[in-house]
Amino acid sequence: MPVQVIAPPGAHVRRRLVLLVLALLTALALPLLASGVAPARADSAGPCTPAADVACIGGTIRTAAGDPAVGVVLTIEGSGDPITATTDDTGRWSAQVPEAGEYTVTLDVATLPAGESPRDGTTTRTVTAELGKTKGALFPLGAAGAGGGATSGATPTASASTDDSASADASAAATVPPGSATDETGSGETGGAGTNRVLQLILAGIIFGTLLALAAVGANLIYGTTGLSNFAHGDLVTLGGLIAFASVQWWHLPVGVAILVAVVAGGAAGWLLNAGIFAPLRRKRIGITQQMIVTIGLALALLSTYMLFFGANPLPIVRTISTRLTIGPVQISEQSLWSLLIAGVVLGAVAWILQGTRVGRATRAVADNPALAAASGIKVESIIRGVWITAGALAALGGVLVGLYLSTIRFNTGSALLLLMFAAITLGGLGSPLGGLIGALIIGLVVELSTLVLPNDMRYASALVILIVVLLVRPQGILGRAERIG
């Protein structure tokens, strides 16, 4: 029976592939070039609903008699341009802020009802906003010791100041009805007007899982072709977000151009890591365990380097507030919608390249059996070099989109996501890109839905539980192949 020989991909095939990928990325970036991801909003329109990428500040203002103070204007200053909010017919106001951090809320006394004034004479409050929460800033009106003026259900003591986090939490709890998304306890099924909490969490899980898959697919490709678990892959994700931040905030490039710059920088970093470190180690026949230890040291070095040059504070890639769209019972920001679409198209392109092109078939052949692939005429080292470049570019793109989704990027964002990426790869099947996508979607849904029963700060711990269970029950993962040992 004749043996089919897979010919090595020619230079013209590689050139066409590069042009295809560049054209794809340029097409995806064009809408962002025109819109800057999302239009800037100087005014807060409509109630703010907190989400994984949204922080809100709000409150309720009542007159000394306890009636709603309508039409009172407040200015929120901190990161980016000042934002204004106006109380509605019930005296409530809310504003979406571009990122977590400290903000100053100023009350415009000229817009207060006739005869009303701040009870304590203070017209400003300092609030520390957090993603996924509404923080309160209260301005009780009337003479000191008088009733009314505070938010419904709040005592004058709790609402007199929000300068510390404890009073801010108390004020936020007093400004919203129980069961809404702005209720920090997380109870209830609804997340504000037009939203359902469970469905909102499912949507957030799908978005987060898709972005996680984009960040993790490169690590899965590297493992498939070399057998190496790259613990520095999370830092390549961080690199993409930091390059995008520097491109937009320091070099004042449009967001679409910043994405392309980050992708190119990620690809260059992948090439450099392979050419400077791991290709020489393979030529010297250094074992996989020793190479893995090298990646751990590399991850620590990159983490320290990022902190040295960028600091430890959250860094916003864009400072504009993304418009939120209501689709049936759920809401999604335009920024998150674009991130989801870009990630979906790129993942689809990667799947098509792996399944429908000569380069993809050669890559799968190297992953199945490098020695047999080399005997068939495939240049194994060229394929591995291309995998490292692709992995770096995809990780960088994932870092940018995760930074846009979370509203900020930090020096350790990728490192914090590394456990989730490995859990997704292990769940889906080591070396299986499609399995990694399925695993990432499952991890994203579990992480978000776990907040129904777990505190928000413990949601990533659910990924560790999944990782342990998969290793105990099905070590090869959903689409992985069991290997005989011994």
Q: What is the DSSP string of 327-359?
A: ETTEEEEHHHHHHHHHHHHHHHHHHHHHHHSHH
Considering the domain boundaries, does residue 416 fall inside one? Answer: yes
**Within this chain, do residues 303 and 379 fall inside the same structural domain, yes or no?**
yes
Q: Which two structure tokens, joined as six digits, stand for 333?
A: 């920001």
CA triple 398-323-347, angle to 5 deg:
25
What the block records as the tokens of 420 is 């989730």
Say whether pLDDT at 354 is over 50. yes
Eight-class DSSP state of 476: T
Is 406 domain-assigned? Answer: yes
The total domain count for the chain is 2
Render pLDDT for 458-480 as a digit per residue (tens, 0 to 9): 878 887 888 888 888 888 888 76
CA dist 119 and 145 (Å) reads 8
Residue that terminates a domain, selected from 109, 141, 175: 175
Which residue type does 329 have?
P
Q: Which tokens go with 457? A: 């700060």
CA atoms within 13 A on the CB side of 317: 34
| CA angle centred on 175, ends 318 and 325, rounded to 5° | 40
Does residue 133 form part of some domain? yes
Residues 236 and 158 in one domain: no
Tell me what pLDDT residue 135 has.
87
Please tell me which residue, 52 or 2, carries the higher pLDDT value.
52
Domain containing residue 398: CATH number: 1.10.3470
pLDDT of residue 44: 46
CA–centroid distance for 326 within its chain: 20
Domain end marker among 175, 208, 230: 175
Position 432 scores a pLDDT of: 76
Kindly state whether residue 434 falls inside one of the protein's structural domains.
yes
For residues 28-50, give the mean pLDDT: 48
Instruction: Specify if 369 maps to a domain.
Output: yes
- What pLDDT, in 10s, does the model give residues 202-247? 999 999 999 999 998 999 899 989 999 999 999 999 999 999 999 9
Identify whether 484 is part of a domain: no
292 and 422 fall within a common domain? yes
User: Of 145, 175, 205, which residue constitutes the final position of a domain?
Assistant: 175
Indicate whether 317 belongs to any domain: yes
Domain that holds residue 308: 11-37+197-473
**Cα–chain-centroid distance for residue 14?**
32
In-domain check, residue 486: no
Under 8 Å CB-to-CB from 188, ≥6 apart: which residues?
178, 179, 180, 197
Give residue-wise pLDDT tens across range 122-164: 888 888 888 878 888 888 887 644 444 444 333 333 333 333 3
Half-sphere exposure (Cβ direction) of 349: Cα atoms closer than 13 Å: 19
pLDDT over 50 (residue 402): yes
Written as six digits, the tokens of 371 are 């020695």
